Homo-oligomer: A and B are copies of this chain.
Amino acid sequence: MGAMPADAEAPGRASTRDRILEASTELFSRQGYSGTGLKAILAMSNAPYGSLYHHFPGGKEELGAAAITLAGTGYRDLVAAIFAPDIDVVTATSNFAEGAAAVLELTDFADACPIATIALEISSTSEPMRRAAAAAFESWLAVLTDRFHDVGIGAPRARELAIELFCAVEGAFILCRATRDATPMRTIGRAQAASVAAALPHRVPR
């Protein structure tokens, strides 16, 4: 049944496929899909053309979709960690925005949403990639919706809140990067934290 690669879980070095994928997510999210050439990805991941087309026979489009999916699960895990069950949701909402603002400042406004740029670029031109982006976004919304529901917010309202938070953060990424100023992210952080607090069921005094 063929060879089972021994380095699937090699400790020292990530597999070629993984290195290509990681370089893709980074370059795509920073320079966009069309703006990133395969050569740049190959150079960053120290891989030849042959490997790329071996692992991704569908070429750049398949690679793009895979990169979106990888970035999607990565960011979903981050959101899940910030909105962990033992942290109250209002604080988590504040922490989320403050974390995003801090990362923007630390990376010279380069690292924002790893998918948004590609999503806007390709959502009218590539169905596979568009679908991958939609699935990634939905997975984030599901994490948020579940968490809001767990703290007693009704299901429909929980999803609305998740959508509102998502949109506010994504929009803030755009504005912050263009103006090179993280203030908007902190502004919407306060607003969203207030929204979440207001949606919480009747506060029990002690």
Which positions in A face B, CB cutoff 8 Å?
30-35, 108-110, 112, 116-117, 119-121, 123-125, 130, 133-134, 137-138, 160, 163-164, 166-175, 177-180, 184, 187-188, 191, 195
Whether the Cβ atoms of B125 and A121 lie closer than 8 Å is: no
- Copies per assembly: 2
Bound complex: CA A34 to CA B121 (Å): 9
A124 to chain B, nearest CB (A): 5
Pair B32/A121 contact, Cβ less than 8 Å = yes
What DSSP secondary structure best describes chain A's contact surface?
A: helix
CB <8 Å contact, B120 and A174: yes
Partner of A119, one of B164, B166, B174: B174
Q: A32-B32, A178-B133, A184-B167 are in contact. Are A120 and B123 (CB under 8 A)?
A: no
Contact present for B121 and A177 (CB under 8 Å): no
| Other-chain contact of A174, B32, B35, B138, B170 (Cβ < 8 Å) | B170
